[in-house]
Amino acid sequence: MKKSNKMIAAAAAGALLLTGGVTAVANAVSPAGAPAAAPVKVAAEVQPAPENVVAQNRISVGASSAAVNAALAKCQADKLPFVTVALVDRFGTVQAILRGDNAAEHTIEAAKQKAYTAAAFGAPTSELAKRVNGNGPSIADLPGTLFLSGGVPLKVNGVSVAGIGVGGAPDGALDEACATAGADALATAAK
């Protein structure tokens, strides 16, 4: 071992001893001679009882992949290869995303936001867009949402668990037709 490496190792060992000694003194001594505080508990084991834990339905990775592929295939068949398709859970976390050939950067965020909006509200974004009106704050001001056609919710037993969104077509109705094709791929796969 070189001399400089030995010096670094000795300095590190000294710092470790010093730190350990200071910690031991700090733990042993408490103000006004009171007994030392018990160690702080940093985690608790939560019992998996129904009153403590919420079960959550999620779209599987295979189903997510099938849905975004079906949506993009519909767009490609309609001569719309420049779109992005996103499938997100109801909290907006991306499960699957597929960017078509020549899809612009903005289509990625548009697809994710449409998918999240549909999942969060449990309705197609084309329907939600009709609710946005007036001159003041509205639901359209909620972060991460986009109230343009192209997002479709995915439901399990009537409850929205995810959303699929498409962004990039020249008309939101075209985006929504592709998103619906993705959603339909999951509905027909279950039968």
Confidence label for 173 from pLDDT (cuts 50, 70 and 90): very high
**pTM, to two decimals:** 0.74
Q: At residue 131, does pLDDT exceed 60?
A: yes
pLDDT in the model for residue 139: 84
Task: Using DSSP, state whether 20 is helix, strand or coil.
Answer: helix
At 86, the amino acid letter reads: A
- For residue 26, pLDDT over 70 is answered with no
What local confidence, expressed as pLDDT, does residue 159 receive? 94
| pLDDT, tens digit (0-9, with 9 covering 90-100), for 146-167 | 999 999 999 999 999 999 999 9
As a whole number of angstroms, the distance between CA 149 and CA 132 comes to 12
pLDDT over 70 at 51, yes or no: yes
CA distance 161 to 96: 14
Residue 166 CA, distance from chain mean position: 16
pLDDT for res 43: 82
Q: How confident is the model at residue 53 (pLDDT cuts 50, 70, 90)?
A: confident
pLDDT at 55: 83
26 vs 159, higher pLDDT: 159
Rounded mean pLDDT, 119-144: 89
* Helix, strand, coil shares, percent, the chain, to 5: 45, 15, 40
| All residues at 6 or more sequence positions from 184 whose CB lies less than 8 Å from its CB, including other chains | 70
The residue count of the chain comes to: 191
